[in-house]
Structure 1
Amino acid sequence: MTFVEMDPAHLPLALLLEADPAASRIAAYLPGAWGFAALADKEVVGACVAGLVGEQTAEIFNIAVAPNRQQQGIGSGLLRFVLTNLAGKGIGRVELGTGSFGHQLTYYQRHGFRVHAVVKDHFLIHYPEPLMEHGIQHKDMLRLSLVLAPDTASP
């Protein structure tokens, strides 16, 4: 597996839609963002989009792995690569939003992210179709954050 930084406009939309089913929302956060990819034989099998939201704060807007490549450590490797690259860009804090339950939440928690806020009714307001997981509708968004250690940056 190879991890690279690339123009987010070249990340496959179908892959980004795996993590965010609203193409209009994806289109809104791509300009000016950083794109990262996991490549297997030159094919993008994992993608991440992050952008600057404060002086030394970035947000991960989207991270996804192709469904047939999940549970193989690709997402974890990609996330570590992204965090290292963001630290190298002078980012000290990384934020993101996710559902209030489900595998995405535990994935981020395993990587050290902690809840710092709840956005009530986010998924009801911003998505026209219900977002369901395990028969339960996502309603509230949890805002998570991670402070990057200064030595996280690669030399």
Structure 2
Amino acid sequence: MNIRKLNSNENYPMELLLLADPSRKLVEEYVIRGECFIAENDNQIIGIYVLLPTRPETVELVNIAVAEEMHGRGIGKQLVLHAIQTARSRGYKTIEMGTGNSGIGQLALYQKCGFRIVGVDVDFFIRHYPNEIYENGIQCRDMVRLSQDL
């Protein structure tokens, strides 16, 4: 597997981005302002993440997704660790992220990679998404905010 920055002449793998964030409108807004990195295996895109500068010395990991048929192979962890290293190498002091309260596996992964829970944006997914989202049998209502000092 190879992880690299998406070239400016390449199309965004929207189907992967929408796995992590079902709002096409929000995805289209932040991919333009951020940097996309893709994971490839045999010339096929199997994962993606987006880094978005938010404040001086702070970057946010706004989207991370792995093709569903590739789940359970450690690709997500490799992407998260690559994002942390990329942010560090670019001189950022803090990397942040947010995920749904219902993403139990994601919350565990991010904490294993050194992120700490720093807050909750109550009803974020109710306010910003027109359709209810369910994951693991739990309604996704709140955004759990995580952060890591680099």
Same fold (TM over 0.5): yes
- Identify which of 130, 134, 137 aligns with 1:135: 137
Of 12-21 and 75-84, more deviation after overlay is shown by: 75-84
Contact 2:134 / 2:140 at 8 angstroms: preserved in 1? yes
**Corresponding residue for residue 153 of structure 1:** none
Contact 2:121 / 2:145 at 8 angstroms: preserved in 1? yes
Separation in 1 of the partners of 2:130 and 2:12? 24
Q: Which amino acid aligns with 2:118?
A: H
Q: For 1:4-153, what aligned pairs fall within 5 Å after superposition?
A: 4-7=4-7, 10-101=11-102, 102-148=104-150
Q: Deviation above 6 Å: which 4+ runs of structure 1?
A: none
Contact 2:54 / 2:60 at 8 angstroms: preserved in 1? yes
Contact 1:7 / 1:34 at 8 angstroms: preserved in 2? no
% same residue: 36
Q: Compute the TM-score of the two structures, normalised by the length of structure 1.
A: 0.91
* Count, aligned residues: 148
- Supply the RMSD in Å over aligned alpha carbons: 1.3
Deviation by residue 1:46-67 (Cα, 9 ceiling, x = unmatched): 0001110011000011000000
Give how far 1:134 is off. Answer: 2.1
Contact 1:11 / 1:47 at 8 angstroms: preserved in 2? no
Give how far 1:7 is off. Answer: 4.0
Separation in 1 of the partners of 2:89 and 2:145? 23
Q: Which amino acid aligns with 2:20?
A: A
Instruction: Report SS of the residue matched to 1:26.
Output: helix
Instruction: Report SS of the residue matched to 2:45.
Output: strand
Could you tell me which runs of 5 or more consecutive residues in structure 2 were left unpaired when the two chains were aligned.
none
**Corresponding residue for residue 2 of structure 2:** 2
